[in-house]
Amino acid sequence: MGAAMYSRIEIGKTEPSLSPLEKIAKALGVSLSDFFSTEDAIADVNSYDGSLMEKVKAIEALSDEEKKTVFSIVDAFAGKKKLKDALSNVLTDVK
């Protein structure tokens, strides 16, 4: 699925058909039925094996200030990973 189609779905300009829904579910690591589940129960989100979507649901329930803190931490780790990869690529090119 292209970025344009994903963007239209994300902003609500179009409703996805079954095929894009399947692709989105696969990318998120959830089953298609999870999109239509009415159960709001969240499993133990402290577990390393908890799914990403369960963690996202838990984050959505936080206050704005708590969300800001979580996003700052995630941004810091993502930035560290990007820097590490960039430096690794530079070192590989030098060899």
The per-residue pLDDT for range 2-21, each reduced to its tens digit, is 788 878 888 888 888 888 78
Establish if 7 belongs to a structural domain. yes
32 vs 39 pLDDT, higher one = 32
Distance in angstroms (rounded) separating the CA atoms of residues 31 and 12: 21
Instruction: Note whether residue 46 is domain-resident.
Output: no
User: pLDDT, tens digit, for every residue of 57-91?
Assistant: 888 889 999 999 999 999 999 899 888 888 887 77
Give a yes or no: residue 18 inside a domain.
yes
Name the residue range of residue 22's domain: 1-36
Q: Confirm whether 56 is domain-assigned.
A: no
Structural domains in the chain (count) = 2
Q: What is the pTM of this model?
A: 0.42
pLDDT at position 41, please? 53
Does 4 reside within a domain? yes
Q: With the C-alpha atoms ordered 29, 34, 35, 38, is the resulting torsion angle positive or negative?
A: negative
Establish if 49 belongs to a structural domain: no
Domain annotation covers residue 13: yes
